[in-house]
Structure 1
Amino acid sequence: MPGPLILIDGFSLVFRAYHALSRTGMQSPAGEPTFAVFAFANILTSLLDKHKPDAIAVVFDTKEPTFRHVMYPEYKAHRDAFPDDLVPQIGRIKELIRLMGLEQVEMPGFEADDIIGTIAARESQDGHEILCVTSDKDYFQLVTDKVKILRPGKDVGEYEVYDAVKVKEKFGVGPEHVIDALALIGDTSDNVPGVKGVGEKTALPLVVQYGSVEGIYEHLDEIDKASLKKKLEENRDNAFLSKTLVTIHTDVPVDAKRVALVRRPMDFQAIDAFCADMGFHTLRKKFAKYAEANGVELDLPAPSLLASSNPASEISETSAPSGNLSTLDDVAHNYTLVDTEGGLQDLLKALAGRTLVSVDLETTGLDAMMCAIVGVAICVDEGTAWYIDVNDPSDRTETPMFGDHSEQHGLPVQMVIDALRPMLQDPHVGKLGQNLKYDALVLRRHDVVLSPIEMDTMLASYVLDPDKQHNLDALAERWLHYRPISITSLIGEKKSEQRSMRDVDPSVVTAYAGEDADVAFKLGALMRPELEREGLWDLARNLEFPVEEVLVTMEFNGICVDTSALANLSEFTRSEAARLEKEIWHEAGEQFTISSPKQLGEVLFERMMLPAGKKTKTGFSTDSSVLTELALTFPIAQMVLDYRQVEKLRSTYVEALPKMINPRTGRLHTTFNQTVAATGRLSSTSPNLQNIPVRTELGQQIRKAFVPQRKDHVIVSADYSQIELRIMASICKDPNLINAFASGEDVHKATAATLFDTPLAEVTSDQRRIAKTVNFGIMYGQGAFGLAQTLGLSRTESQQIIANYFEKYPGIKKYIDDTIATTRDRGYATTLLGRRRYFPLINGNNRGLQAAAERAAINSPIQGTAADMMKVAMINVHRRMQEERVQSIMMLQVHDELLFEVPTNELDVMIDLARTEMVNAFPLEGVPIVVDVGHGASWYEAH
């Protein structure tokens, strides 16, 4: 019996493939994105293996408009452009289709739906079985006894088969009513209007009762519900238009017949070369088996040579899902619930002599400084874990994030803490886990210092490739081909209705928490060898893991804010916003909602007729870049910028900070993020203290509210001076720049003197401003266009300034050229400590994306080295503070600055300690490091 004819909706599956593995960030050895190609290849091979089709065609849309666009210009008008990292993969996908001997069909002016509909209708009349592969529900209208739809499931290679019965079961009507139902419902993704206000619940019964859109309007008077009747009357034209738009045509003049779609022999040699280029090692072996079955022998390298030097290629590919992911039901495991004192003692005996322990806490919320412990999971061998059910009294003294607590169970928290403390603090027992900073902070509140951190899988993933996702689910999928239990299966999907983990049966939590500890243990066993192979283990072990322990202490310490000062500032910002609002209204000649981009755009660009910039989907852009340019000529634009700044600072800091004060400590406890910025920089959230302006009056007033909590204490600020410029000077070894720093001169003034060939004493403030802009702009990869915009010069003038700059500082030009060339060759840039950041698009075909990658690659070694230097300094300062047994505390790290709360009798000691450790953290060749240290009654005074 002949196999079926498979018709594939090309772009439907391309996007399915893209989203299935986008978070893996797979790349070829050359740094080319490959995850969509890999997923698409697995989809094709699974279809061939399972359905064994005689004929197959992959049908693609083209760029040319179709009759639907002519009829309704808004059709698909709101669809986003292809993702930047998908564009280069489409050509690769089409290349693989050709090499696999599969037919590609495209017809300018016709959509894939209509081409597939025509082929399916024609070939099914001849008695052939047709399988249409797509995620588009419009295809349900094509279903007959011979035509079925294969809809992709959750996993790559997983499908649901839709026949007429399944269509009715899932969609609510049979194939014969699909067109009319879709006409009423509409489709937001394709911008098909439908009948506004009518959804599936209303549309399906109407279609079943009256048979069609035409039937509904013929019997409109029979519809009793006035509001529905009104909607149908007002949207009559849209209903009939939508029916035309959603109807798949089955009479397209396409020549492709079954005989032309019969599979051709695969070009196995070319496929093997293709897979080698892409870094698809498992697929390469899979196609080798196909080749062997067809009498073709491929000369594959030895298995050991099928390893890649690019972790973003080999690791992701070998662990990316090519079918269903494994779950807990598929793996051998032994997770034990510990809820008795005897069970706890048995666990302690099992832990005796262990040198590596995976730890995972379950809690009542996400705020480590407020939540209660629900349980502790521990794993010391793959597949074996224990879960200690904990009864924490504080569980009933706070408002939990996940609902109310009810039944009390578990061992007393103090008993558990006392039993585990020796192991958790043992310097000879390494601690392993995922995002251990959270667990360590919770434990710190119970007087436990979790140390040493031997492996944090989240940080390990970040060190290997900072641009990937680092959550446990993503890591399990990428490295273990495994899907962990979802927390929502325990506490519920909807946040407002989620219950506390405390209310989940301990036996159920045992599986969830034991699995988390077990998965982290398995990941650690894979990640360390990979870090060592890539030369990144020292960076993880000696920098990222130790600084995580420092951050635990800093988050625990927190910082004090003066709420009365903020209350006064709140009154000021509200009156200032009101003043600016009136001025803007006066300038505009009308009142409107300034915070509405749509209304603001209409006022500025339609009524005031200001020159409009870029447009968005909803109207004119009023972002800061547009307003900043307008502000040079039109006062109202500057007023709006000022208004936005005041309102942002009021809502984000002035009125938000008091609400974020911990009621137990009376302090703010920000969360530092190690895996957000790809450069290696730290960021902070809840609150974000990185974005408080330094130079504006309002920003300074906010900083005045950060004060010591204790009497006879001061705030000390230690700040690296121009550290990124100093790093650039050291890396590029340009003698002019090095000499400026070595002589202690004002580097921007010295640059201006060199650029404008002017004696240092005669440099004007405007010349210094230009030099400063050029210094920082060049460091961030800024070109002539960007510099012209920043300085308000012509492009020709800015080009001349840059050319002059490179002539006077040839070492910088050489650094830029060498960095771009090296990054293109290796696919990544590195800091002086070896931190990597991958730039796959630097070798792409899109010049805009390539230029952006080049700019980031130029800055990455500089900004990344500054981040590394700060982390080394934090580790060393923290160590010295412990050795000196000072009472001072380290509270914040913001940009290039460390902030301390210091007793006045330790002031001299801390100033010397901070400056010494920061200066000596990472000496730069040929360039002195300068740290400015200040102190005062507030952050503002200290800085």
Structure 2
Amino acid sequence: MQQQLTNSQGQPTAAILSFTRMLLKLLEEGNEYIAICFDLGGKSKRDELYAAYKADRPPTPDSLISQFPYVRKIVEALGIPTVAMDDYEADDVAGTLAKQAETVGFDVLIMTNDKDMLQLISPKIKVHRVNPRGGYEIYDAAACKRRYGIEPYQIPDYLALAGDSVDQIPGVSGIGEKTSPKLLSEFGTVETLLQHLDEVPERFRTKLEAGESHALLSKKLATLETALELPITPEGCKVGDKNNETLLALFRELEFHSLLDQITTDREMPKPDTNYQMITDEAELKQLIEELKKNEEFSVDLETTSTNPIDAHIVGIAITTAPHEGYYIPILNSLLDTPSLLSQDQVLEVLRPVLEDVSYQKVGQNIKYDLKVFKRHGADLKGISFDTMVASGLLHPASSSHGLNDLAFTHLNHKMIPIKDLIGTGSKRTTMDLVPLPQITEYACEDVDITLQLKNKFVSELATEGLTDIFRDIEIPLISVLADMELAGIQVDGNYLRQLSGEFQERLDQKMDQIYAEAGQEFNINSPKQLGQILFEELDLPKNLTRKTKTGYSTDIRVLQRLAPHHPLPELILEYRSFAKLKSTYTDALVGLINPDTRRIHTSFHQAGVRTGRLSSSDPNLQNIPVRTAEGREIRRAFVASDDDHTLIVADYSQIELRILAHLSGDDRLREAFEQDLDIHAQSASLIFGLPPEEIDDDMRRQAKTMNYGIVYGVGAFRLSNELQIDFGEAQQLIDNYFQTYAGVRDYFDRIVAKAQEQEYITTLLGRRCYVPEIQAADRNTQEFGKRVAINAPMQGTAAELIKLAMLEIHDYLTKNGKRTKLLLQVHDELVFETPKSEQEEVLIEIKRMMENACQIDVPIKVDIHAGANWLEAK
């Protein structure tokens, strides 16, 4: 299951956020009169007409129901009037209000996704409908004619014939969406059509005669009431004043940080008195140094010309030692009217002794960025003691944002100066060296000031949650390790990537010809709508293996996998998509990320953002380099050693999460398999299928391997049946056999889920907390997702801690012993090094030893380690 959008407490928020954004946009566009029409949820007049009306609609998901109260609160806080009536649906209320507004001279816009509302279109009434891409399409009479082939007033007649499966309007059996417009273009209305059945072709006449009562009933159901006595008039729909205090509280609770700029003002969030100073001469700079030496710690932040630390130039340095204070030292400013500034060499010469002295503790927000830029400019930032972004990720791992603006708002009730106020956005975006000095001074000093305030708050929270040791002993030292890795980068053979991209294009062309041959026609392979039409209409493949979407039939990977046994085309489409992704996401994209100066790719590793504590990476995301297919693995061949005198070393923890599961669960059979260094997948197959090891074939071992790895993620029978291409019952039997075989694992999972339900978090072996608010959700799907997270997090989180400990020890060993071997990449359970061939033999032994002994568990930890000229060869 894909994780849905929630706040850090597990409250689903996707619908609230989408609806709120729409309302804010309407207000921003200057609409003075707005009304929200709600359903009251009871029976309507249509239910009296037809008992089956909307009867078969699936129940509203609990995750959506839980969002309704917030929607109403936000509408009220925005000052937008609402209206609803007993016995009538929101569509009837909206229809009446629209017609009344039209009468008194308003131009009316109805925002909806219901096509029955199109019947209201007139010269003064238009309808905005949500399109599949998330935008809106404006419908006037011409647009209605283009889309449905009828005039707006004929919409009830259209639904009377074609029916509506969403609302269970029956229509006439056998008269569908294509035939209805043709009949209505000739006869105008359903009533006229039924009076002239003798003029209708026989193949339709018999269907219309049999369905006459349904047609007339359906038209009544589809026709909106537009003459209700409403408790509000169009003039009464004028938008009132916003209650910004309430909105701020709601947005803070829902964690809608991106919406703050649209509703906050200085009056609601007053700024405290501050003392921010700019330093422009050497005497002031030396005085600042003396001030720094009186304190044990200071907050530091760089303003630069780029967000890419490999290319960035220093614009200025901000420092503070106390809340509400700050100093900004400008170095680079491209405005012509600025005073002369201290040079970069002058500033760094004076600051370097303090920056590089570990006795002065440095605090920052994403301080790894500043560390890298300082290093590139000849200064080493030593003594890093606190990073507020990393602390936030540790304290609030379920949160989706750990940026300074969001942290300031959430934890200090403070609204930061938006960077767009300084450098703009889009095509008008400039760089920080073009910002006037007073503005950049205020902005830069605020950053270090707020960072220090957050640090003071987070210190006590880390202690309260029992996370101080992990933060101090693992996460903070890891910052310097990651910075060195990112600065080193890894060399990439661009020519090989271009060659591979060409080969993938040839394969794509071949697949395209095969696809057209199987389909019997050419079509846009990348269009799900066209593909769905081919699969389910032209080829008549089983429709029960898909689902209807807004654009037609679903053709996602699961649907195609289910269809594959029925026809060759779905498998060809899957192969085509695989090659297309390899080409666009990897071979083409990676070439563009090679730094022209270093000829290397410099990814960025992130310590905050994954709730289990795993590192993630971006630009590029090397955690997703493909490994399952031979073609995907070939991409790793492009990552090479820098020259013939160096090799790459790849060290990979073997089955580490299963080994951690053996330790955590205490299951005797699982522990015994690892203690005896057995083939865990063959051993599991032997136990699950009740056969001696010599009778286990490759397919049995494959099934057991899928089970072993799937069980770590809480896999269910549905997913397992898809992965193994077996039926649901067989998959469930495999799971049952697995838990009978490893009863200790089943008991451990039960314990961990119960613990997560009780306290809403679980812990790793070293005590990191992984919060699982979803496990308390009313929505069953969300709750099941929470259970899977709770099962997996102790293993994945402990594995993440293990490799971090190994990275710290290895980095320390390489540094202290003057080795030229460098740690370049961390990809899940794997580390990639570059080493001179003269050091290879020694470091292979030492790396393996340190990784296998980084943390002690009850079963042996095993590392596979090899060297080669490229990543694939070393793997």
Measured against the shorter chain, the TM-score band is 0.7 to 0.9
Cα deviation, 1:887-932, whole Å, max 9, x if unaligned, reads 11111111211001100010022112211111111111x2100001
Q: Given the alignment of the two structures, is residue 579 of structure 1 paired with residue 510 of structure 2, yes or no? A: yes
Q: Secondary structure at the match of 1:584?
A: helix
Partner of 2:559: 626
- Distance in 2 between residues matched to 1:436 and 1:191, nearest whole Å: 53
Change (3 A) 1:188 1:91: closer
Give 1:484's aligned residue: 416
Structure 1 position 414 matched with structure 2 position 414 = no
Match of 1:931 among 851, 863, 867: 863
- Residue of structure 2 in register with 1:637 after alignment: 570
Aligned position for 2:464: 533
Partner Cα distance (1:481, 1:701) in 2? 50
Secondary structure in 1 matching 2:105 = helix
Summarize the alignment of residues 356-435 of structure 1 with structure 2, pairs less than 5 Å apart.
356-391=297-332, 410-435=341-366
In structure 2, how many angstroms separate the alpha carbons of the residues matched to 1:755 and 1:619? Answer: 42
| Alpha-carbon distance in 2 for matches of 1:576, 1:484 | 51
Indicate the residue corresponding to 1:156 in structure 2.
none
Deviation at 1:849, TM superposition (A): 1.9
Structure 2 CA distance for partners of 1:23 and 1:796, relative to 1, 3 Å: closer
Q: Deviations over 1:637-675 (max 9, x none)?
A: 222111112121112221222221112212110111222
**Distance in 2 between residues matched to 1:551 and 1:509, nearest whole Å:** 29
Q: 1:860 is matched by which residue type in structure 2?
A: A
Please state if 1:805 is matched with 2:783: no
Q: What one-letter code is carried by the residue in structure 2 that aligns with 1:187?
A: M
Residue in 1 that maps onto 2:727 = 794
State how far apart, in whole Å, the 1-side matches of 2:649 and 2:352 are. Answer: 34
Taking the aligned partners of 1:710 and 1:327, their CA distance within structure 2 comes to 60
CA contact (8 A) 2:95 2:117 kept: no
Residue matched to 2:39: 61
Aligned pair 1:177/2:105, yes or no?
yes
**Kept after mapping to 2: 8 A contact 1:384/1:518:** yes
Residues 309, 372 of structure 2: 8 Å contact kept: yes
Counterpart CA distance in 2 for 1:664 and 1:70 is: 75
Q: Deviations over 1:283-335 (max 9, x none)?
A: 9xx9xxxxxxxxxxxxxxxxxxxxxxxxx999999xx9999677886211011
Distance change in 2, residues 1:139/1:481 (3 Å) = farther
**Which residue does the alignment assign to 2:548?**
615
- TM-score normalized with structure 1 length: 0.71
Match of 2:380 in 1: 449
- The residue number in structure 2 matching 1:919 is 852
Encode CA deviations 1:667-695: one digit per residue, 9 max, x unaligned.
11011122232221112111122222224
Correspondences of 1:139-538 after superposition (within 5 Å): 176-178=104-106, 180-182=107-109, 186-187=110-111, 251-252=229-230, 330-391=271-332, 410-468=341-399, 469-493=401-425, 495-538=426-469
SS of 1:941's equivalent in the other structure is helix
Question: Structure 1 CA distance, aligned partners of 2:367 and 2:100?
Answer: 52
Aligned partner of 1:869 among 792, 796, 802: 802
Residue 624 of structure 2: SS of its match in structure 1?
A: coil
2:641–2:870 contact (8 Å) kept in structure 1: yes
The one-character-per-residue Cα deviations of 1:52-88 (angstroms, maximum 9, x if unpaired) are xxxxxx99523468789999xxxx9xx9998965634
AA paired with 1:491? Answer: I
CA contact (8 A) 1:85 1:841 kept: no
**Would the aligned equivalents of 1:359 and 1:517 in 2 still touch at CA under 8 Å?**
yes
Structure 1's 36 and 690: CA in aligned 2 closer, same or farther, altered over 3 A?
closer
2:492 corresponds to 1:561? yes
Instruction: Tell me if the contact between 1:362 and 1:373 (Cα under 8 Å) persists in the aligned partners.
Output: yes
Q: Equivalents in 1 of 2:108, 2:150: separation in Å? A: 15
Conserved 8 A contact 1:327-1:483:
no
Distance 1:769 1:35 in 2: 39
SS of 1:386's equivalent? Answer: strand
Q: Cα deviations across residues 245-298 of structure 1 (Å, max 9, x unaligned)?
A: 9998661599xxxxxxxxxxxxxxxxxxxxxxxxxxx99xx9xxxxxxxxxxxx
Is contact 1:465-1:836 (8 Å) kept? no
Counterpart of 1:170 in structure 2 is none
Residue 722 of structure 1 corresponds to which residue in structure 2? Answer: 655
Cα 1:814–1:661 change in 2 (3 A) is: same
- In structure 2, the partner of 1:774 is 707
Change (3 A) 1:191 1:380: farther
Is the 1:356–1:432 contact (alpha carbons within 8 Å) kept by the matching residues of 2?
A: yes
Q: In the aligned structure 2, how far is the partner of 1:70 from the partner of 1:876?
A: 74
Counterparts of 2:694 and 2:595, CA distance in 1: 53
| 2:867 is equivalent to residue 895 of structure 1 | no
Q: Which residue in the other structure is 2:161 paired with?
A: none
| Alignment partner of 1:731 is 2:655 | no
SS of 1:771 mapped into structure 2? helix
Q: Secondary structure at the match of 1:423?
A: helix
With normalisation by structure 2, the TM-score equals 0.76
Measured in 1, the distance between the counterparts of 2:332 and 2:768 equals 43
* CA apart distance, 1:517: 1.1
Give the secondary structure class of the aligned counterpart of 1:391.
coil
Any conservation in 2 of the 1:24–1:478 contact (CA below 8 Å)? no
Describe the shift of the 1:190–1:387 C-alpha distance in structure 2 as closer, same or farther (beyond 3 A).
farther
- Contact 1:566-1:702 at 8 Å conserved across structures: yes
Instruction: Say which SS state the counterpart of residue 671 (structure 2) adopts.
Output: helix
Aligned partner of 1:543: which letter?
I
Q: Point out where structure 2 has 5 or more consecutive residues left out of the alignment.
A: 17-35, 74-81, 127-139, 157-221, 233-244
- Note closer, same or farther for the CA distance 1:237–1:419 as it changes in structure 2 (3 Å cut): farther
Supply the distance in 1 between the matched residues of 2:346 and 2:48 (Cα, whole angstroms): 74
- 1:592 maps to a residue whose letter is F
- Determine the C-alpha separation between the residues in 2 that align with 1:355 and 1:363: 26
Distance 1:484 1:628, change over 3 A: same
1:116 and 1:649 map into 2 onto residues whose CA distance is 49
The CA deviation string for residues 459-516 of structure 1, in whole angstroms up to 9 with x for no partner, is 11111121112111211111011111111111113x1221111111011011111111
Give the drift of 1:522: 0.7
Query: Is residue 854 of structure 1 aligned with residue 787 of structure 2?
Result: yes
**Which whole-Å CA distance do the structure 1 matches of 2:60 and 2:436 have between them?**
45
2:769 is matched with: 836
Partner of 1:154: none
Could you tell me which of 516, 519, 534 is aligned with 1:588? 519
> Residue 347 of structure 1: SS of its match in structure 2?
helix
CA distance in 2, matches of 1:405, 1:932: 59
Q: What letter corresponds to residue 353 of structure 1 in structure 2?
A: K
| CA-CA distance at 1:117 after TM superposition | 12
Whichever residue aligns with residue 576 of structure 1, its letter is R
Aligned-residue offset at 1:241: 8.9
Residues 1:110 and 2:69 aligned together: no
Offset from partner CA, 1:575-605 (integer Å, 9 cap, x none) = 1111111111111111122122222222222
Structure 1 residues 449 and 248: CA distance shift in structure 2, 3 A: farther
In structure 2, what residue type is equivalent to 1:177?
G
Cα distance, 1:553 vs structure 2: 0.7
Give, in whole Å, the separation in 1 of the partners of 2:861 and 2:833. Answer: 20
Matching of residues 817-828 of structure 1 within 5 Å: 817-828=750-761
- CA offset at residue 34 of structure 1? 11
1:606 aligned to which of 537, 542, 566: 537
Kindly state the Cα deviation for residue 616 of structure 1 after the two structures are TM-superposed: 2.2
1:139 and 1:459 map into 2 onto residues whose CA distance is: 52
Amino acid paired to 1:888: T
Retained in 2: the 8 A contact 1:187–1:194? no
Q: Is the 8 A contact 1:628 1:637 kept in 2?
A: yes
For these two proteins, the number of residue pairs brought into alignment is 742
Q: Distance in 2 between matches of 1:426 and 1:139?
A: 71
Deviation of 1:840 after TM superposition, in Å, equals 1.8
Q: Secondary structure at the match of 2:765?
A: coil
- 1:764 equivalent in alignment to 2:697: yes
Say yes or no: does 1:552 pair with 2:483: yes
Instruction: Look up the SS of the partner of 1:893 in the other structure.
Output: strand
2: distance between equivalents of 1:781 and 1:533? Answer: 31
